[in-house]
Structure 1
């Protein structure tokens, strides 16, 4: 995957060559050292760099990988867990993951499963020998190299003689491949937990499915703890070994020495002979037919039983609604008739679009490969998106119908979509020559016809204001530029003030602003620009690290960190500056909130990557409420005073509704599946009349926020 405009040229002295992938916690790049050696560089996402617990976890991962060495692991080459964006470089292994291999080619032949098992036993031996428990052995963490598997990603491993580190109230791992004790008693996890995960992984390799797969993660976790594994499609010589690995009691599982002996007694010839007998005669290897019903339990008994799972310290407690407001069948529950006793039912923000029905949309490309939405904005009753495989598309909010789509043959995806007054604004993919020049494109909203294009290197976002477009052109000694939205003609150009400053263009309440920064010690100057001629007027100057969140009346709200602390610390204060007079008022934030901040309905919402959402009163600085949604990687929220709700969408497309006044969770939807184009960050939900549209995994989904259960 080629590098994008937002990717750095190098990390820690390693020149980046390509993107190998992106996950929930970070991005992995192919890179080259000064000596020419290829390495895989894992860079933590910016939002996690602000989380003290995660930094500690990343330091543990680096320490764990450094302790482990062997033929079946990828050793660490270099790392800096204390960098602004923590990173780690390991030896590059040019091989697909086990999950990719099974997805594309189906289950492995039994003889290959045996070779895989022997390699993984040796890898676990190297890991356990230095008193490390991996705790996340799964198909995505096994590389299928020609000379044997490699175990990677020690992100949630821990030393046997240290306390486990979890995000508070969260369990770390992948449920289909976790042991019963990892789900219910995570602080008691030993090396035997990795043996259980190995057994589940071998079943997946042999059959294409895990031994405890079910219709939802909650049922899967229940079956891991209470039910017997599904092993009927595993070749008989391997079945007995796998069954012992999957013993519910850790003491009943074989150790690595015994496993190596049992696997050594098997021959590939015997397994090849049994292979055909263990596979189904016909039919696909995936689909609803393979899901197992619960044996000997009613669904009501299941709901009662799962309430006792995970009561160990730090575990995820599985209650009847999992703290999510969802029943066990994974559909969103209906919104309560009232948000509290005696309180009226919420009023709809706006009428639903005429003829609206729930819909979900994924695009197919011209060559049969999927196209994927990358950035979207709503305007009226339409949604405008850019993405991989196309410049832009317009989607009807009522039906999900694609009104038009502008194809693109260029690699990468367009971004920074904005839409208003019959026009659509977007940025084309950046040049691959390092100049970071890219197209600024405006289209006719009704037809998709290109109205004009301008090419430059842009700093920050571009956006409409009034009847113009604001951008910050250049990477050094640049200018703030206003262009006519209809023609692209330059209306004015205002040079960045001062040497060494970089200005980011901002639009608040349809007016142009800019934030011009140097070092944290030099601080940031905030400017208001005359919409007609671009003349700058200084609003205020703030030292240290800052982040403007928007206007509240005539006050610009600015979050401030102390310069010596950096953004990894909690936010200390909120600065309110009247843009007309420059009068400043500083509000201390006693709650010291952490997370990405969004201004909505007169409140500041801080959203942590762990799912904790905190609401702050912008007039007093006091905390209004704080709610753990238990949904990771949520995007920026939107709020509706009429509906009395806050809406957030996760990177997987789970939509969460919280009560605006109390923070109490009203409902939550299922995820939107998986995609090769999936983002590692949540996006903000979009309003289209009375409906909501969310984007995740390259797809769009529309639902009625007052009746989410009928929208599933």
Structure 2
């Protein structure tokens, strides 16, 4: 069979007959990276096969980008994308095969049929929000969502082409002098701060895509990409023609600052209240039946506040370009030099004396410093050293070398001394909080596990014997076995005088909990509770546990509260099982952050979930809260804040990525809250402080 020919400008004259084992039947389209073919497998399954252009196949950097595309597409394959069937990024002509999805792109549909009516727009917005939720949940930022990358399938929109996507918790690299993305659908931060692009950029693009679907043009429209870029960064969007019921939500998606945009989860929630006519009918039934375009109902034009641009706006944008016509580099700098303030921002008063700070330490292993607060200092550790910082400005007060032994959490203040908590050392030492000098150093008995409760170290030997060591002196105070616990490992919580050991029955049906007085080793109470339980907090005389479902790979299915005084147990089932959640308790409300970014609040008294939000953080620390806000850190070094009452996103700090982004830290540092200030650390070695009263200013 002779090779296929493609007459499109810029495409190769000769196209291959096969990609791997897949027979290429016809050309579906050609883009900047390659040609997409309709193909069939040996069994006759229809596939869409993307084959890289020949001139790029020899480019090592391009092959790297293609590998990234394949990896991202495989991570997000599911209900809202085209599933990857096979790929070979190392072939002479790299290729990737996905399931063929019949249906036009959104760009083709609008070009052929004109703007969509409101009901279809709502379904499109809901479908894209669901798609972005799933994409972000696995840690990917698309970065090029546009009408040409949205397929209109019968069961809803599918997002395709992950050619410039990036994992949002890895190193983001951009090429000098190159614009990555499609300007009419790029977010302001993609022009101003390309290394800080996160999931919110995809939400901005969703807003632009909706305007295109509703009007046939974008919210920022010009023949010049330079003018479009200026408008995206500085001008208000033109929403003329967008249905009045959707315009406010689209406007929120197009907010200049990432933190002002809704999350995909919030979009789906709000879309359900936009109109009683919201439904889940097939996406484009008229087109699938071969009928013509549906007429768009007459709607009232939005109020001028939605940003209809005037001739003066465009003239000013053109005038700005005259100043930078010498080159794109100068234009890029002009955009970076003019940040857009958040709506509703108010200046700080002189009475507010807080000043944010950050200090960058040399990271040794690509992991973030771990910090706690004690003796009026921020006490931090990195592999090899422990140090103290002044909370007001981050200046280093002292540093103490502890060798290269891996640390076991942050140093803490116990017995009036700084305890480095280095792991598995035959010798332990305690430091003077004022100077960092060694106050005592002792040889310890052999131990497999170490806990710190009150003023005592609890060291568990291989035979189950526990030794209590005074943290103020380093002296051993008691040594004994704990009844009912073969090899007890202890957990303790701030403000609680007891330490807790747990052991689970062989079949996982029950957990034996023993509460021990760390000063003496005496058992204060003992209980057998239903299920596989792990303690995570104690408050108001109760201990809180996460309950794991051992039949589903140990996923958490409930939160349990046990009150020893009354021996009362309260179990609240989670609506959805959560994978490896971190949890904290404040009063009677438990806050959980699961792997994949699911954040939720559970009221133990009311026995119900208060709220749930998908944060799009692939991996986070344990959440901490101050009564009004919930904070946690992400793997890319961001500190995020959510409203404790509603789950609404409030603010986040920029990513601070490790120079060794290919390494995954074993644990992420928990934020530290002191007097309304939040202290956090990042994988690039930075320790920083921000004002906890108003995270929207971060």
| Alpha-carbon shift at residue 385 of structure 1 (Å) | 0.9
Cα deviation per residue 1:429-483 (whole Å; 9 max; x = unaligned)?
Answer: 55xxxxxx56543211111112224446655663240xx2232423x32233321
From 248, 255, 258, give the equivalent of 1:320: 255
Aligned residue for 1:398?
392
1:591-602 equivalences under 5 Å are 591=575, 594=578, 595-602=581-588
1:83-102 equivalences under 5 Å are none
Aligned residue for 2:358?
360
Aligned residue for 2:437?
449
Provide closer, same or farther for how the CA distance between residues 497 and 303 of structure 1 changes in structure 2, counting only shifts above 3 A: farther
Aligned residue for 2:681?
695
| Alpha-carbon shift at residue 662 of structure 1 (Å) | 2.6
Distance of 2:631 and 2:458 partners within structure 1: 29
Q: What is the TM-score of this pair, normalised by structure 2?
A: 0.56
Preserved contact between residue 480 and residue 494 of structure 1 (Cα < 8 Å):
yes
Distance of 1:220 and 1:527 partners within structure 2: 49
Aligned residue for 2:294?
none
| Alpha-carbon shift at residue 397 of structure 1 (Å) | 0.4
| Alpha-carbon shift at residue 296 of structure 1 (Å) | 5.4
Query: Where in structure 1 are there 5+ consecutive unaligned residues?
Result: 1-66, 71-110, 228-247, 249-290, 338-350, 431-436
Is 1:587–2:571 an aligned residue pair? yes
Provide closer, same or farther for how the CA distance between residues 498 and 322 of structure 1 changes in structure 2, counting only shifts above 3 A: same
Query: Where in structure 2 are there 5+ consecutive unaligned residues?
Result: 1-18, 23-54, 103-126, 167-171, 182-189, 209-216, 218-224, 263-335
Provide closer, same or farther for how the CA distance between residues 500 and 640 of structure 1 changes in structure 2, counting only shifts above 3 A: closer
Is 1:547–2:562 an aligned residue pair? no
Cα deviation per residue 1:649-689 (whole Å; 9 max; x = unaligned)?
Answer: 32333333333333333333332344427747643221232
Provide closer, same or farther for how the CA distance between residues 377 and 620 of structure 1 changes in structure 2, counting only shifts above 3 A: same
Cα deviation per residue 1:199-239 (whole Å; 9 max; x = unaligned)?
Answer: xxxx9898586634531527975998999xxxxxxxxxxxx
Cα deviation per residue 1:111-140 (whole Å; 9 max; x = unaligned)?
Answer: 998342796799899999x9x98999xxxx
From 618, 627, 630, give the equivalent of 1:646: 630
Aligned residue for 2:458?
471
Distance of 2:357 and 2:563 partners within structure 1: 43
| Alpha-carbon shift at residue 392 of structure 1 (Å) | 0.5
Aligned residue for 2:161?
193
1:357-396 equivalences under 5 Å are 357-364=355-362, 373-379=368-374, 381-388=376-383, 390-396=384-390
Distance of 2:616 and 2:204 partners within structure 1: 21
| Alpha-carbon shift at residue 700 of structure 1 (Å) | 1.2
Aligned residue pairs total 489
Aligned residue for 2:60?
116
Preserved contact between residue 429 and residue 438 of structure 1 (Cα < 8 Å):
no
1:190-269 equivalences under 5 Å are 193=161, 211-212=180-181, 214=191, 215=193, 216-217=196-197
1:12-161 equivalences under 5 Å are 114-116=58-60, 159-160=99-100
| Alpha-carbon shift at residue 527 of structure 1 (Å) | 1.5
Provide closer, same or farther for how the CA distance between residues 601 and 521 of structure 1 changes in structure 2, counting only shifts above 3 A: same
Aligned residue for 1:30?
none
| Alpha-carbon shift at residue 396 of structure 1 (Å) | 0.7
Cα deviation per residue 1:160-205 (whole Å; 9 max; x = unaligned)?
Answer: 5799996846546754765646975697668x8266779xxxx989
Cα deviation per residue 1:376-395 (whole Å; 9 max; x = unaligned)?
Answer: 1112531111113x320101
Preserved contact between residue 589 and residue 601 of structure 2 (Cα < 8 Å):
yes
Provide closer, same or farther for how the CA distance between residues 379 and 577 of structure 1 changes in structure 2, counting only shifts above 3 A: same
RMSD (CA atoms): 5.4
Q: Bigger shift: 529-538 or 540-549?
A: 529-538
Provide closer, same or farther for how the CA distance between residues 159 and 298 of structure 1 changes in structure 2, counting only shifts above 3 A: closer
| Alpha-carbon shift at residue 701 of structure 1 (Å) | 1.2
Distance of 2:175 and 2:345 partners within structure 1: 45
Distance of 1:591 and 1:126 partners within structure 2: 33
Distance of 1:457 and 1:149 partners within structure 2: 59
Preserved contact between residue 133 and residue 616 of structure 2 (Cα < 8 Å):
no
| Alpha-carbon shift at residue 495 of structure 1 (Å) | 1.9
| Alpha-carbon shift at residue 646 of structure 1 (Å) | 2.5
Is 1:625–2:611 an aligned residue pair? yes
Provide the secondary structure at the position in 1 that maps to 2:519: coil
Cα deviation per residue 1:547-576 (whole Å; 9 max; x = unaligned)?
Answer: 2122231122233345544532522x5232
Distance of 1:488 and 1:176 partners within structure 2: 54
